[in-house]
């Protein structure tokens, strides 16, 4: 498994973790329990990691295209 596949897999699992944490917060609010303040900050950790891995995955096709053009241009 190469580096890009690892990042994709991590991104998928982070999205699942983020969704579960946010859903759990809404469920506790729906039940009527007011969670501690730090519970509201818990989704920020996977969200920040999602942003980093998402930006990497977003830039990946552009970087690949740039590298292939550079390689072709350097041979001519």
pLDDT digits (tens, 9 = 90+) for 3-49: 889 999 999 999 999 999 999 999 999 999 999 999 999 999 999 99
Mean pLDDT of 48-72: 87
Mean pLDDT of 44-73: 88
Categorize the per-residue pLDDT at 75 as very low, low, confident or very high, splitting at 50, 70 and 90: low
Measured distance CA(37)–CA(66) in Å, rounded: 45
Measured distance CA(8)–CA(14) in Å, rounded: 10
2: DSSP letter: -
pLDDT value of position 1: 66
pTM (2 d.p.): 0.78
């Amino acid at each position: 498994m190469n580096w890009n596949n690892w990042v994709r897999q991590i991104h998928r699992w982070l999205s699942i973790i983020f969704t579960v944490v946010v859903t759990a917060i809404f469920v506790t609010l729906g039940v009527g329990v007011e969670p501690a303040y730090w519970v509201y900050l818990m989704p920020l950790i996977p969200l920040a990691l999602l942003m980093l891995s998402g930006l990497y995955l977003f830039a990946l096709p552009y970087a690949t295209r740039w590298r292939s053009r550079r390689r072709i241009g350097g041979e001519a």
